Chains A and B, each alone.
Chain A
């Protein structure tokens, strides 16, 4: 059963200074990312938009994100601080998925695995997907939006999925408090953002520890093109380093799988 989002219980647990302090709750919308990217309103840095139902939840390119009403967390975070978005936008990719892993470890002692660039899996099943969108006017980044879809209390998934889905409820065998999960994630996100500025290598090393594909032979697929090689490491900026013979290539995007 879905349960209305309890703002008080969320607010008590939120310990941030700016992430989620401007909080917008919407019953139904096309996409929370689009809400923030297309709005002419100047929302504060750290604004969070949570929707109970997205009618056009987005994945990469033209893929969609499906989520049942009121059971999960689908939200977007707006970042406008130039210091972060101009210099460290790539690390936000890793940081946003690392925070999901840290939150699930802290709250439920789960052992999530991170899949490059930013999927979160539990026993090879996808529990969370992240899509980051930014807009730039001319040559300068204006704003960056981190969209997170986290499966919380959904117990059944219908449809065809590229990767089989799971949820926190399926993993821990009980309903969990969405407010607690969201507050934990946002608390962690703010902390990790400050780490990006003070100690960026912490992000890459924590991320690496949770990625089980490093060292394995993988295939990188993008449209009709497949590249093979050894996933040797991630670069300081978070790009995938693929070794083929003596050549190491920096991969910017694509779907990866172990071969």
Chain B
């Protein structure tokens, strides 16, 4: 332990300092073992951040490795690069194209500074995409807040939406979809999950590995300041408490214009052939990018921190290594092409500075003020290398069995069916999100075909016949009650939203938001989620391309519902066949298609529903044990119907059930068409129909319309796939009607549906 003397440590390191940077006693001992000595203060800080939950995935990686992470159309295995890469086909000249996509969380920063937190979340995910050489073509988000009845929640919603709008609009990526939920469990811990997708020529993908001893290492982009220090290690890797408010300086500050310049410069650099490897700097900044890029090729780096352009005076090695200043990239250039790289950066007015070079031996050798401050094996720092990996204790939470005993269909609501309908329609989780989405530029890039459906549809200019669809989904109320089936339902819903626009699901990315992993009950829900995801993705043949885990989403008061947000990518082979996002023709027939579960008959799938939340103000009851094979049959049926031009529109049944699903489509149809339905036609309970059927959130079912001429063929197709096919109504003019229950004008529906805009005024 006396070999420190050759290295400089500004502060004497001991167990106490180790704990202050977020390490445990055992982890500190492990660091000393790797180094064969006491670490310097800077080294300690780097281990602290690299072994934090946020960077090391130490409590999740063993579980994540059980997921299907390769195969299908995946061009790289999960975790190998900054984002997943999926083959979408070749153009007439034989050039192969891929979609690069990923979802990430920016929960903790957004809880204390929503505007910058959300903005830099968008910036971070965009850098993951373009650091692979892909031009971003779409952004999405999944946002969750407490109930919208408090000023704090309104402040958070307004801040997050403004932040996303500010960053995405200026950068020039269309924000084409997302979901927003309001539930009390997110009051202290809002979730800001952001997803982006980009397109790249498969043979032009950049790698995040350094190689070639002697090649120079450059920082490209903004200068480095003190913002974001300890963002990953202390803010994002623990729960909120009374100290959290004082951590606002750990939130980064975003500059979308700098990011736009960095995008153009990065793509031009990659195109020029000067780039050996590139990685964006997000969490853990220089520490993470230098160690991960080195480790991937088994090399080391010698870095002189005096060369890093700084925006503040007197920054220490520790601060520079841990800064999370935004809009920066680490590049390794071919040593013979440096001049070309400098010219490109000068053209775009993007700062560029050489800070070191690639070395043999796998060591990170860091200097500041002529003193050596770090000399540590890159491999010992990173996930998959020396970073710790744990399996935590898991215990099934007691509430789960308790909640199942509740029979939601037995409640006697004090409201009429009609009153329930109107209340559901304007509840913020269900109501129109127009107030939010109109603040996002959804069209820049001129690829946006449809954003009104459950999945966004984009054309691909490079492959004119084709398109892609992307969805982002998770109803966490289900996951809370039954993590295993709830996760399957989230995946099924994401896939159903894709097939409803005619897209075949190809791959997923996930953002796993949970509470404290050291709580055995939380860990059990995490394990169950992963088990369900592995099984379902194997059956769907949609491998997991990557994503992120966000633990510690809890405060002293409450933990969030387990929330595994699923981003799913689908391919549309023939864009001309994609179907409309609303009703098309008067007198088209409305059908309910799908598989009937036993629960559909017993409790109308009211468990976890928005109906139950409204009537009972709680999240209880049994949820459907979804059958993924049946779900697959339904999805194949849908694709078959769409390919054969049988149906004019399709939609799944989600929050609020059938009644809300039909009302939403009536509202979104760009014409004066509306739905007429008679629920007596729904022969689920041998004609003992119940009004509650209207609000059941059925799985493995969709609502479609087709012309009378196609009705017979539709029945044939459904029997081929053994799916029920029930005509429940037809499309009529102007009046929305549920026979004997509700009759209203489209105008009235629109008015009630726009409740969010009034709340946010």
Q: Do A and B bind each other?
A: no
Interface residues in chain B, defined as those with a beta carbon under 8 Å from any beta carbon in chain A: none
